Amino acid sequence: GENVEQHPSTLSVQEGDSAVIKCTYSDSASNYFPWYKQELGKGPQLIIDIRSNVGEKKDQRIAVTLNKTAKHFSLHITETQPEDSAVYFCAARDSGGGADGLTFGKGTHLIIQP
């Protein structure tokens, strides 16, 4: 089955700086990679996703890059703001779909220092 590793577990950055969170996956058949943000007391919410037919996707201050050869993908947040403080999860799902849900990383607690 799929195995997703996520680093770092905690990341503290100054407001306005950039933050990068990295994930690796094991199953070369995986081709869908979402990122979720979870704020305190809430469920995870999708913030961006990427499919394996593209190498990069951007949505305002958030971007995701994918390297299928190396089996890793990264989340980039620029110009960080206090409201970016949360736990971020990467996930992977193989192209076959079927009964499997997403395989998640352990999460990164992002702290934005004022």
Partner 1 sequence: ETGVTQTPRHLVMGMTNKKSLKCEQHLGHNAMYWYKQSAKKPLELMFVYSLEERVENNSVPSRFSPECPNSSHLFLHLHTLQPEDSALYLCASSQDLRGGETQYFGPGTRLLVL
DSSP-derived 3-state class of residue 47:
strand
Instruction: Choose which of 24, 93, 110, 112 interacts with partner 1 (CB under 8 A).
Output: 93
Q: How far is the CB of 55 from partner 1 (least distance, A)?
A: 17
Q: Is residue 97 at the binding interface for partner 1, with CB under 8 A as the rule?
A: yes
Instruction: Choose which of 26, 51, 54, 61 interacts with partner 1 (CB under 8 A).
Output: 51
| 5-27 CB burial, b ≥16 within 10 A, e <16 | ebeeeebebeeeeebbbbbbbeb
Q: Residue 38 in contact with residue 44, Cβ under 8 Å?
A: yes
Q: Is residue 101 at the binding interface for partner 1, with CB under 8 A as the rule?
A: yes
Instruction: Choose which of 16, 46, 81, 82 interacts with partner 1 (CB under 8 A).
Output: 46
